[in-house]
Structure 1
Amino acid sequence: MASGIAKRLVAAALAIGALGIMHTAGAADPDKKEIRFGATAGPYSDQIRYGIKPILEKQGYKVTIVEFSDYVQPNLALADSAIDANAFQHVAYLKKFSADRKLQLSDVVQVPTAPIGIYSRKHKSLGEVKSGASVSLPNDPTNLARAIAMLQQFGWITLKAGTDPIRASERDIEGNPHKLKLIQLEAAQLPRSLDDVDYAFVNGNFALASGLKLTEALSLEKIPDYYMNLVAVRTADLNKPYVKDIRAAYQSAEFKTVTQQRFAGFLPPAYQR
């Protein structure tokens, strides 16, 4: 009798396990037939196109990729429900943008991230910097802070004592021994500035979208965790099944293979290491 009960318990456990497997690889969220996924044009939309979209469509979703050319519209579109998720920003930017605009947005999962780099068409090394050199940088506060942190690492500037590296701006620069001319531009315009400046900081996604290679950078950022890019959704949707399916797609072995094949040089998130 005990043996019969044990067999029934094992059978029940196997049935539950099978249901779990079916849910993991099974149908899409019945309340969500289409996922409109926003991203900046370039590698982050390509990650969705080649890695995430095929996985989600096997589950029954229709995935539409909406590309943006700046760092403002993707979050506004998400908050307005014009898209269901986006992938282009890091958590520092998401939190500041959401607070400034009073938006209820939350991060879901980190994604493989291209570092910001400094490029030049006029110089072959950072050691060639001359007095009065022009340097273009991103004009949005969080990415500007990243570039300023790199300038300090190069020894090109010094910052005031106690400066928060996440919030550093030109006002925090105490020393500028090379008398650098810092030119702030929209991130998408930085690749075009290379013909006009001595050095340009370019975010990885815009560098790759413009035809630059990460290996061509004179120096690449060592990305701290808070600058890893991520997928964001509306906070109200955070626990919905389709959001869980997006997270699972990024954390899958299939996406890791795509990352290794197509996105060499990107810093992998912890779940891919």
Structure 2
Amino acid sequence: MVDDPRTPPTGLPVRVGGAVGDDLERPSSARVYDFLLGGTSHGEVDRGLGRDLIDAEPLVVPIVRENRSFLRRAVTLLAREGIDQFLDLGSGIPTMGNTHEVARRVRPDARVAYVDVDPVAVAHGELLLGHTDGVSVSQADLRRPAEILDAPAVTAVLDLARPVGLLLFSVLQHVPDTDEAHTVVDEYLSRLVPGSALAVSHLSADDPRVDAAALRRVSHAYPRGPVTPRSAAELARIVAGVELVDPGLVFAAQWRPEPPRPGSPNGEPCCGHRAAVGFVRAR
């Protein structure tokens, strides 16, 4: 990772075969996220919006890094609890430390179906992961659960007759209607067998440390519209279909934090996302 996302990375902007040219000329949430994480799979238009987000809310970089840390902790927990297959929706660009790498540290045979709506992110993921056993990458809109769960790229990797870890990391804020977000999550859960799990992180609308309104204003530049931060009450409704594990729905940095690593800088854990993990119990 680079230390300062304001500095352009040394890698070239992503140019992948089969991607529609227009998609490279508009900012993508997946590629802006990669930029904020310090990756290299993005173009100048993504860096421009990323810098605008940093100017609007300087905490945005620690926010996305804490979200990635939550992914690591949540997937590790689920793997330790016996989950060995994952559906990662809104997965973005599968750079270092993504779901299959984390899960396979615990379960070497873990299987992952990555799904994202951004064709450039998907094409890049296919280049990176196309020959990885037990992993698929496909393009689809997460608001179409039946289409995704029945897609050949998903059914080739996941057995829905067995427990699945449903992952929605920092993506439901791109579904603007709260009723729709709640309905979509419930539809996925209705297709998953008991013992399956849900892991969610979501930009908070009521974290006093973060100017969520500024992030929403700047994110109007996304072709699919701005992000929709949500309150703790709204998020509680979205995860109501599972039995949450301790500590419940909390800020991501409060969800089973790791002890500080030797030599790591001390400081307040960051902010911005609320997060939760829960299991589908017998109906």
The bucket for the TM-score relative to the shorter chain is 0.3 to 0.5
Q: Which structure: greater strand fraction?
A: 1
Give TM-score scaled by structure 1 length.
0.33
**Which structure carries more relative contact order (alpha carbon 8 Å, separation 6+)?**
1
Give TM-score scaled by structure 2 length.
0.32
Q: Which structure: greater helix fraction?
A: 1
